[in-house]
Chains A and B, each alone.
Chain A
């Protein structure tokens, strides 16, 4: 029983990392229907920037702030350079461009910094482990889960309670109509990328701390898993992304914990295929009209 609980807890913390990444993914998809494959790599850049700050002696919060700001700007630049001109052409063109950006970021990083694994300096994030009825939990787990929750709430607030959010929703329903009503579509999309990429940076730092690993391809697999999580929860739905992430993490943890560690990734992708076949809009997706 303790084992099962511990496995579920392992899954919960792994899942909240997926959720954290999936939230940014799903938000960008919700607004412009673009699967931003470069999202995982923005996470990687965020982790590197935070690591750079950490190595220069900055604390946790300042590093997080610098990383979020840098990535927010990077996200806006990516959108301006790689997506804006192809977006109206076709979704496929934008998707291809996103894959290009992803590879560009990975290999530029590798060229300049090498493929070595880097780690955060000891003591950058003081770790603590708590034990309760034979179950152990780490303060990193709590941090990741807490951050994800807070981000989901903030995002929901921005999307449903602010003017910017109203503009975002308008653009997501119908970009052209929104433009006719005086919404600046381009700047709304830019703001979406600004927020989404800042979240990616936060995810990057947390991922980097959680696994104590920063390397150029670190965003690849979590990016794919977050995509699965987002689809599972209903792509475009922010609470759905969180739910999808946690469900995926728990499933993986149970599969790996009960003898199937070789099939962990396979199970994740099978889930993706099943969801697409049985319920293409995902658990919390509400049909094609109401994305976000």
Chain B
């Protein structure tokens, strides 16, 4: 190698080569889009997974939130003040979510919206509670996010906008047993993921309580990419369906690999499935005969939902998934709470949130029960040729 005569040349060449390489792609990650600062504004922290493993959840939530704040600010803001969103990317890392919460609180936010997933919300919760700043979690579905079962205490400063996991698994169990008439199930969960493990456990309870049977249970870990061994052993037990309450990045591969093995069973799941990436990963035809529970459906004809979808499509040139809808509702819920509090003070906002009654969002009507869990309807979605089709809306039995 006599191409590089000087040491410096080699580095320059390396740099050029890398730049050239990256030039092939359009850069997908933008920086934080903080809205213009204003002396007389209300600062709101927006802490989401904008990159990393579950980036599509966080990005959708953030997009929904920013759309809502833009609409509010166009109409003159709230209490005569504009809302200033401080957007931060926690890179899908729980520790980073906590660091960001600390930073946002020291920047003087009145509330923190996000993060999207359960683990990250739990990680930032102690920081926010200590500072008495309410967290509004759009999509954290695990019961323990708002309620500590060990101490039997509600986490006062955490509110969620989504339904909780046991409700999702119960509705799915009812639907599978009563409507589809399938009695023998298999469960496959991500053992590293509390959300997935929790849904698997509660699903098993509800399904067996109804008289169904779980014939196989398998697990995997978040970093796995090869699922054929587990799928082969599940198929040998001859279940009627496979319940995979996991995130889209794994579900996509699992469904694809199952179809490659000739396993033609229906797959069922929960809101973690809702991502445009799911169809990309699995392939549209592989996802036929797959169902999941979700917070809303773009197919819902109600005017509120259709207006939101139109506005979202105009701004982002994409169909809003459930996370976008939840984000949108989260932002409006905060605005409503600030209005009712009469002042942008975090403790007063917390009180206003506790007393919210019948808040109308695109993901349904919302009131809180004593554990800060919304009481809402759940949509059952079927994937048909890569498109989501709303089958029906069901209320969990209480």
Q: Residue of A at shortest CB range from B29?
A: A114
In the complex, A10 Cα to B224 Cα: how many Å? 14
A265 / chain B contacts, CB cutoff of 8 Å: 221
Contacts of A115 in B (CB 8 A): 51-53, 55, 91-92
B17 located at the interface, meaning its Cβ lies under 8 Å from any Cβ of chain A in the complex: yes
Contact A119 B261, beta carbon cutoff 8 Å: no
Cβ of B210 < 8 Å from any Cβ of A? no
Please give, as numbers and ranges, the residues of chain B lying within 8 Å of A7 by CB-CB distance. 229, 232-233
Which residues does chain A contribute within 8 Å of B226, judged by CB atoms?
Answer: 10, 14, 211, 252-253, 256
**Are A119 and B281 in contact, CB atoms less than 8 angstroms apart?**
yes
Instruction: Choose among B4, B10, B25 the residue that contacts A48 (Cβ–Cβ < 8 A).
Output: B25
Cβ of B21 within 8 Å of any chain A Cβ, yes or no, is yes
Could you tell me which residues of chain B, from 215 to 262, have a CB within 8 Å of some CB in chain A? Answer: 218-221, 223-226, 228-230, 232-233, 236, 249, 252-253, 256, 259-262
Task: For the complex, give the distance between the alpha carbons of A253 and B259 in Å.
Answer: 18
| Distance of A141 Cα from B301 Cα, bound (Å) | 45
Chain B residue at minimal CB-CB distance from A82: B14
**B359 in the interface (beta carbon within 8 A):** no
How many residues from A make CB contacts under 8 Å with B? 55
Given A115-B52, A116-B55, A119-B280: A258 in contact with B11 (beta carbons within 8 A): no
Residues of B264-287 at the interface with A, using a CB-CB cut-off of 8 Å, are 277, 280-281, 283-284
The answer to whether B232 touches A187 (Cβ under 8 A) is: no
Instruction: Name the contact of A138 in the complex, choosing from B11, B21, B92, B260 (C-beta under 8 A).
Output: B260
- Is A179 an interface residue when CB atoms closer than 8 A count as contact? no
B260 to chain A, nearest CB (A): 5
Name the distance in Å between A31's Cβ and chain B's nearest Cβ.
Answer: 15
In the complex, which residues of chain B have a beta carbon less than 8 angstroms from the beta carbon of A45?
21
User: Are the CB atoms of B25 and A52 closer together than 8 Å?
Assistant: yes
Q: How far is the CA of A93 from the CA of B381 in the complex (A)?
A: 55
Does chain B have a CB within 8 A of A80? yes
Q: How far is the CA of A262 from the CA of B219 in the complex (A)?
A: 7
Q: Determine the chain A residues whose CB is within 8 A of the CB of B253 once the complex forms.
A: 211-213
B27 near A: Cβ within 8 Å? yes
Residue A49 interfacial (CB < 8 Å): yes
Report if A174 contacts B (CB, 8 A).
Answer: no
Query: Is B18 close to A, CB under 8 A?
Result: yes
Q: Which of B1, B4, B28, B230 is A116 in contact with, Cβ under 8 Å?
A: B28
Number of interface residues of B (CB under 8 A): 50
Complex Cα spacing A165 to B225, Å: 36
> In the complex, what's the smallest C-beta–C-beta distance from A64 to chain B, in angstroms?
15
Asked if B191 CB lies within 8 Å of chain A CBs, one says: yes
B130 at interface by CB-CB < 8 Å: no
Contact pattern, A 253-292, Cβ under 8 Å of B = 1, otherwise 0: 1111111011011000000000000000000000000000
Most chain B beta-carbon contacts within 10 A, residue among A76, A190, A252, A257: A257
Residue contact B21 to A49, C-beta cutoff 8 Å: yes
A3 pairs with B233, CB closer than 8 A: yes
A262 surroundings in chain B (CB, below 8 A): 191, 219, 221
Task: Tell me, yes or no, whether B180 is within 8 Å of chain A by CB.
Answer: no
Kindly state whether residue A150 has any CB partner on chain B within 8 Å: no
Measured between beta carbons, the chain A residues less than 8 angstroms from B28 are 113-114, 116
What chain A residues lie within 8 Å of B209 (beta carbons)? none
**CB-nearest residue of chain B to A74:** B17
Q: Within 8 Å CB of B220, what residues of A?
A: 261
Report Cα–Cα, A212/B257, bound state, in Å. Answer: 10
A129 lies within 8 A of B277 (CB): no
A 198-217 to B, binary, CB cutoff 8 A, 1 in contact else 0: 00000000000001110000
CB distance A108 to B281 under 8 Å?
A: no
Question: With A14-B226, A187-B1, A262-B191 given, is the CB distance from A113 to B280 under 8 Å?
Answer: no
Cα distance, A131 to B259, chains bound together (Å): 12
A80-B10, A116-B51 known; A257+B230 contact, CB < 8 A? yes
User: Quick one: closest B residue to A110, CB to CB?
Assistant: B51
| Contact partner, A136, options B11, B18, B25, B260, Cβ 8 Å | B260
Q: Are A77 and B17 in contact (CB under 8 A)?
A: yes
Within 8 A of A (CB), among B319-366: none
Cβ–Cβ < 8 Å partners of A122 in chain B: 283-284
- Chain B residues within an 8 Å CB radius of A36: none
Q: Which residues of B contact A (CB under 8 A)?
A: 1, 4, 10-11, 13-14, 17-18, 21-22, 24-25, 27-29, 51-53, 55-56, 91-92, 191, 218-221, 223-226, 228-230, 232-233, 236, 249, 252-253, 256, 259-262, 277, 280-281, 283-284
Q: List 7 A-B contacts (CB under 8 A).
A: A10-B229, A14-B226, A48-B21, A49-B24, A113-B22, A114-B29, A261-B220
Top 9 A-B residue pairs of the complex, sorted by shortest distance between their CB atoms: A257-B229, A52-B24, A256-B229, A114-B29, A10-B228, A112-B22, A119-B280, A136-B262, A115-B52
15 further contact pairs, Cβ within 8 A, besides A129-B262, A213-B249: A3-B236, A6-B232, A7-B233, A14-B226, A74-B17, A77-B13, A112-B25, A115-B92, A211-B225, A212-B256, A212-B280, A253-B228, A261-B221, A261-B224, A264-B224
What residues make up the interface of A, taking CB atoms closer than 8 Å to B? Answer: 3, 6-7, 10-11, 14, 45, 48-49, 52-53, 55-56, 70, 73-74, 76-77, 80-81, 108, 110, 112-117, 119, 122, 127, 129, 131, 136, 138, 140, 186-187, 190, 211-213, 221, 252-259, 261-262, 264-265
